[in-house]
Amino acid sequence: IIASQLVVPDEISVNWKDIAGLDYLIQELRETVILPIQKRELFADSRLTQPPKGVLLHGPPGCGKTLIAKATAKEANMSFINLDVSLLTDKWYGETQKLAAAVFSLAVKLQPCIVFIDEIESFLRTRTQHDHEATAMMKTQFMSLWDGLITDPTCTVIIMGATNRPQDLDKAIQRRMPATFHVPMPSDTQRERILQLILRSEPVAPDIDFKRLASSTEGFSGSDLHELCRQAAVYRVRDLAREEMAREMNENQSAQNNTTDSDEEYVD
Ligand code: ATP
């Protein structure tokens, strides 16, 4: 199960160039996450400069959190495990316990490695008295495995969580994620950059006005913009396909007419 969620650096298909409008965030990630991995001997020297073992990306859906997590792994030459939290919550406790231990042990084997957990709050939300006993034990086990990484200065495994609801995260989890980044809804300028990136190798009209497109898509996330461009591209191809079909039908029709004409001549 875990192997199917694992991507080694060579197979990660995105990098910084696939992210538009978030240069400041990329710079922060370079300094906070990547530099300590690449220059581990310098950072691991003191307890005060330990690289973060937990990173939280928070912000509205579709604004690039998964993209950023994958690109960070690619740029830092780290393996990437995309941990589907439903695997840790759907199964019987004994199984999830083994699975959680297996994820951490695989990550350690593959280090440097990022374990990405989307919607981390759904699994590690604030504990309540109403928590099912198995859920509470799962969380405790997860945190103790995580602490194993934190206390080992030589370990280069990072748990990178993403959430739209950071306020729902357990405080104990928040403390384990000292590096926290907000990935916001894109501004006008950011939407302009994202549109330029999405359409960079598409056959767009020479007079396309990216500024106008950006200002008329207020409230769109990066994912919405991608969907908008996809639909526009599909409409264009459909138009072309329709025109081509109509042309082919006309050609067939006139070929048929010619055949009928010549048949008639033959009969005569
Ligand atoms: P969710 O919270 O729903 O999981 P997310 O924040 O993880 O969403 P992604 O899955 O990373 O969002 O982004 C979805 C898609 O939107 C990307 O694959 C990409 O096509 C596009 N996208 C989003 N933000 C950007 C951006 N800043 N630059 C380029 N593309 C973007």
Which pTM does this prediction carry?
0.86
Tell me the pLDDT of the chain (268 aa) as tens digits. 666 677 887 888 899 999 999 999 999 999 999 998 888 888 877 777 878 899 999 999 999 999 999 999 999 999 999 988 877 776 565 677 788 888 899 999 999 999 999 999 887 776 666 667 777 778 888 889 999 888 888 888 999 999 999 998 888 888 999 899 999 999 999 999 999 999 998 988 899 999 999 999 999 999 999 999 999 999 989 988 999 999 999 988 888 887 766 655 555 5
Strands 79-82, 6-7: pairing is antiparallel
Q: Is the Cβ–Cβ distance between 178 and 52 less than 8 Å?
A: yes
How far apart are the CA of 107 and the centre of ligand 1, in A? 25
Record the tokens describing residue 5, joined without a space.
């969620």
Instruction: Provide CB contacts within 8 A for 214, sequence distance 6+.
Output: 188, 189, 191, 192, 195
How far apart are the CA of 3 and the centre of ligand 1, in A? 24
Q: Which atom of ligand 1 is nearest to the CA of 64?
A: 11
Identify the pLDDT of residue 207.
Answer: 92
Q: Give the integer Cα–Cα distance in Å for 142 and 172.
A: 12
pLDDT tens-digit readout, 19-66: 999 999 999 999 999 998 888 888 877 777 878 899 999 999 999 999
How far apart are the CA of 128 and the centre of ligand 1, in A? 32
Identify the pLDDT of residue 129.
Answer: 63
Q: Give the integer Cα–Cα distance in Å for 144 and 147.
A: 5
Record the tokens describing residue 133, joined without a space.
């006993």
Q: Give the integer Cα–Cα distance in Å for 105 and 157.
A: 10
What lines the ligand 1 site, CB under 6 Å?
A: 19-22, 61-67, 118, 162, 164, 194, 197, 222-223, 226
Identify the pLDDT of residue 82.
Answer: 92
Beta strands in the chain (DSSP E): 6-7, 54-58, 79-82, 113-118, 157-163, 179-182
Record the tokens describing residue 118, joined without a space.
């989307």
Identify the pLDDT of residue 264.
Answer: 56
Q: Is the ipTM of this complex over 0.85?
A: yes
Amino acid identity of 32?
T
How far apart are the CA of 224 and the centre of ligand 1, in A? 9
Q: Burial, 3: exposed, middle or buried (Cβ in 10 Å; 0-12, 13-18, 19+)?
A: exposed
Amino acid identity of 177?
M
3-state secondary structure at position 31: helix
